Structure 1
Amino acid sequence: MRKIKDVLRLKLDAKLSHQQIADALGLSKGVVTKYAGLAATAGLDWFTVQGMDEAALERRLMVGSQKARDYVQPDYGRMHRELGRKGMTLMLLWEEHRADFAHCQTYAYSQFCENYRRFAKQLKRSMRQVHRAGEKLFIDFAGPTIALTDGGRAHIYVASLGASSYTYACATPRET
């Protein structure tokens, strides 16, 4: 829930520090600094803010950030999946996007690519594998051998079911 009006009341009327406001409202100091900076840029004082509701105040403060919203934002998640298909390129996706939103303002190709690269950079590198129950069993000998009390060495055999990750392990004298 937005607390813009409370932040500005404590800043402009009560003259509290950013840290005091953050502690009082349970916000971060950075959020308080952001709202105070936006109010200063918009030239707002407490008398003006007092008569506004939360929605009107937010619209007034966010005037500078509206420029980026004028452009139709592509679905970068869908684009990322589409790029996995054979023969698909960013140029083709950009042309599709422009055709779909011909009546709206879209990014130029260079900005479209830059925004996609920024999106792709924040993705976590992972590979999800889905295993059906009882379909796969992963087996291997784990790590180095273990010394036994009789002077011999034991090899650790490990087996794990794919779906449940149920694991079985035992020591064996050999890897055969």
Structure 2
Amino acid sequence: MALKSAEMAGLHVPSTSPALAGRFLDSVASEYGAKYGYLTPDPRQTTTAIGLLCRMYLGWEREEEALVRGVGYLDQWGPSKNSMYFNYYATQVLCHFDGPLWEKWNAAMRDYLVRNQATEGLEAGSWFFVDEKCASGGRLYNTAMAITTLEVYYRYMPLYKPDVMRGTR
């Protein structure tokens, strides 16, 4: 995402950077690029979502077979009840991928977050999920992750809708 943002801002991105990033992703990929690990090809849900998002930003086309299969895994797993970190990245992948899988994911994610938002007391409007990754960040981290997940279509330009990006739609 940083490489793409720098490029879009007109900053110099060494031509070797995307290739090196792709090589690293190759080293942690499994199932022919549909799933990803952290430092080894031992796939996890969160690292799969992150790996797929990186591939999208590195130029994989929407029709790329590994991307289609990877998005299928995200859809199969569905929004996580214990990892906003996964939800944040998977939501970005599915939003960029678009179509019926995105509509299904977005409805489930939105409903889950609305249902679990605090409604009373000083915590009203915030979120707090007790899981190994989110608990240490506390209510502030959880709320920030929930909000950025809900705002994904407002925060990022679509990768696979060139007409929208050119302003012709």
Q: Normalising by structure 1, what TM-score?
A: 0.26
The structure with higher relative contact order (CA 8 Å, sep 6+) is 2
Q: Which has the higher helix share?
A: 2
Which one has a bigger Cα radius of gyration? Answer: 1
Q: Which has the higher strand share?
A: 1
